[in-house]
Structure 1
């Protein structure tokens, strides 16, 4: 074996390892872009489809363009430097553009296209370098295996490790530094072939990226300060969502994925309207199920009814229920409802809970996120409501928040139509009886709810708990009246096959606010 053989073998092994590392980084950039686009532009299915399509087509263009790179080794290093800078700074730039300009679409797709082109050049260039090195028994499938394995690791790590522990901004910068690290080690390994100018540009890019990474938390604070009106007292990324809590004097607001969930100035309007009509009209209310409502506000209202014996609360994100149970200032907002011995918390998907449960409930309350995506829309489908109806007692009541009949009227009335299409387990060939109603909530605008029962409601007057801040008999009667511009209109039932609700919801809000 010649003296050059060990060096060639080291370079071969490094280039295969580099293939794995750059594959990890490339897929992370794609997932960061897809997640950001769904956060900032809405409609996750459409955004994920656009991001994946653009990224893959850009990779194809990059692979084709690689043929015009004369020096494969130099081209690979420049591609890594470009990815380190463009991919690494993608999330910070997009967050800043959204916070200060309000528009991110053009920038997002432009940066994603550039990242895709550079990522598409990597494999052909690495293969050419390996061939030029006379790699021991070079096989192209070894390169592809390392590439696909890297993609697998990235796809698994992204929701479990990357987002919860790094957040999107830091993740983008960390993997930008990874690309620059690959470039740096390759520069050192092939140092006799490369010019000093490449070293200089690489060093500047690395220092800038490391500096931004060190300041990532401060950058996040700058963005969030501009996005939110009030002081941020808590800001965490979980495997499921971004949790942000803000405060101004005694006013506290909760945001999930930057969408407001409640404001303590008016949350009582929402939660009293959601909870008390169902509990007042149902003849029994011993067993209550709450789907969603991890902030404990709905549970607080439920526990005002002394007849309630057990409350089962199902919320997907354990961090939300943990915060609103254990954080002293947040738990105070729900009167420590989540610590009440009558309350049992299950952190799991609402569909899975309903599907696997055999319990019967007197009251079921759906305080679920708006159906802006298919993942959320499934919790508003006829199939889900059929499962829910099986868990409801014959004289029970189900109530759901259903969005705004003003801003997304088609979506609201689609929820009503869907509930009316549900098979009534208490009557052969029967349907659920529904009662739509709506109230004004300053933080949300005109907001709607739907009450459904297996048995026709015999009376619409309420027997209300003492100490309510908003709901009265007169308010209740008025809430059942819909003006001409928010009146019922022909819409489709929301099903697992069609999901018209997502389109209704997004087009309605886009019409008003985009």
Structure 2
């Protein structure tokens, strides 16, 4: 490369570097937001806090860049620093959660540092372009390339980065990307770089490569501390983190690090969810299950011989694949997901109900707890109104409704939401709403709500033989609530307000924070 050609190559490289650092910067922000929503819950709150802290820190970084006297050297130091801080952010967050049980301060400390460093990048690049006489590259060109990089990152994160790299490897991989930017910049501007920068870059590169090679081992060490039992499966999909643990004959499923079932006592939950509803209806030919990708609810439905068709709708295809095909997991549901009477649909529950026109005898909502907006909408009056259009005069809907002791207001908010939902059979009369609960050792007291156009409270369910927990005596007591779980005056859950999320988060924080 000649002396005359070098400035043009530098100009082009700095625009390429702008694109690459924009991609890396947004990926770090998305990793922080995703990890915080996994570990701290309430994705709306966490994403809002992450975006606010990151953007304000970028503003501070842009202001601090004016004090950098040598922009080329400053840009290289920023790239090395952001590679280390951003690259090791996800490993540090998981280790903090596993060993310190206090991820918040670590999260926002790393996020603020990455934000400050990211905020310094564009002003420094603009100054370097000006110093090398790149007058044809206007500042708006730099911003355009920066915004294009952010777009690519936002598209790649859910489609490529999370499914194929996972959060820990992604963090380290984009740290390596920043180091690559620093390395090329050191070479192109080698007359303005120092040995100190080269040594720091080499040390950071070695540390990042070693960590990246051992990322699976790092993840295993962290997960071993997070979970009591041996991990037999762990994967991050486009929708969630799936972890399955096992100790002897005991298997547990965790989604986003929250327990979904323990094979030691899951029968209590699923018997209470399924059999009162199926036992109330005169016909059980056509059943809809929303959620329940582990197949346990479907297993209980198939105890009833007159069931002809089950439609199971679960968003994440990886969950239904695992519990249909995995040799250690499919026996837990008695291979229910392979039953010819069952049809699996991997689709958002709202979209499915909105587009479906069938009438069901029983609808079972085996959905995760409403800890974010995406889940809370499936407990809203608007969604419940859609569901009631899919049932007949003698049909029943049942939903899991959380812990009436730990999240008391949340439970009764779900009850009130159903009570305010229009009865499609007789609009002048309310729906019959029956709350009940049962004890599941893994969760504590757990609540359910059954709904129908027909009166429910005076009916006794016809239960199949061979149940391990539920009988008629247990059913009678299930409808009684002790004073500390008794009804409270709460708001219904609507799309406009999402009162349920605050009730849910406040309840669990009161007991466990």
Task: Give the TM-score normalised by the residue count of structure 2.
Answer: 0.99
Which residue of structure 1 aligns with residue 325 of structure 2? 326
Which residue of structure 1 aligns with residue 51 of structure 2? 52
**Partner SS for 2:401:** strand
Which residue of structure 1 aligns with residue 229 of structure 2? 230
Q: What CA distance in whole angstroms lies between the structure 2 residues aligned with 1:447 and 1:271?
A: 11
Q: What CA distance in whole angstroms lies between the structure 2 residues aligned with 1:391 and 1:430?
A: 18
**Partner SS for 1:254:** strand
Which residue of structure 2 aligns with residue 103 of structure 1? 102
**Partner SS for 1:426:** coil
Q: Contact 1:281–1:459 (CA<8 Å) still a contact in 2?
A: no
Which residue of structure 1 aligns with residue 163 of structure 2? 164
- Quick check: 1:335 aligned with 2:334? yes
Which residue of structure 2 aligns with residue 37 of structure 1? 36
Which residue of structure 1 aligns with residue 86 of structure 2? 87
Q: How big is the shift at 1:430?
A: 2.3
| Structure 1 segment 19-30 matched on structure 2, within 5 A | 19-30=18-29
Q: What CA distance in whole angstroms lies between the structure 2 residues aligned with 1:62 and 1:429?
A: 61
**Partner SS for 2:200:** helix
Which residue of structure 2 aligns with residue 218 of structure 1? 217
CA deviation string 1:73-114 (max 9, x = no partner): 000000000100000000101100100010011111111001
Which residue of structure 2 aligns with residue 125 of structure 1? 124
Which residue of structure 1 aligns with residue 144 of structure 2? 145
Q: How big is the shift at 1:264?
A: 0.6
Call closer, same or farther: CA 1:497–1:116 in 2, change over 3 Å. same
Which residue of structure 2 aligns with residue 391 of structure 1? 390
**Partner SS for 1:24:** helix
Structure 2 spans left out of the alignment, 5+ residues? none
Q: Contact 2:42–2:505 (CA<8 Å) still a contact in 1?
A: yes
Q: How big is the shift at 1:42?
A: 1.5
Q: How big is the shift at 1:25?
A: 0.3
Which residue of structure 1 aligns with residue 476 of structure 2? 477
Which residue of structure 1 aligns with residue 111 of structure 2? 112
Greater shift in the superposed pair: 129-138 or 489-498: 129-138
Q: What CA distance in whole angstroms lies between the structure 2 residues aligned with 1:494 and 1:448?
A: 17
Q: Contact 1:406–1:485 (CA<8 Å) still a contact in 2?
A: yes
Deviating above 6 A after TM superposition, structure 1's stretches of 4 or more consecutive aligned residues are none
Which residue of structure 1 aligns with residue 178 of structure 2? 179
Task: Give the TM-score normalised by the residue count of structure 1.
Answer: 0.99
Which residue of structure 2 aligns with residue 513 of structure 1? 512
Q: How big is the shift at 1:456?
A: 1.3
**Partner SS for 1:232:** strand
Structure 1 spans left out of the alignment, 5+ residues? none
| Structure 1 segment 404-483 matched on structure 2, within 5 A | 404-457=403-456, 459-483=458-482
CA deviation string 1:462-501 (max 9, x = no partner): 2111111111111111100100000001000100000100
- Quick check: 1:308 aligned with 2:299? no
Number of residue equivalences: 513
Q: Contact 1:235–1:244 (CA<8 Å) still a contact in 2?
A: yes
Which residue of structure 2 aligns with residue 493 of structure 1? 492
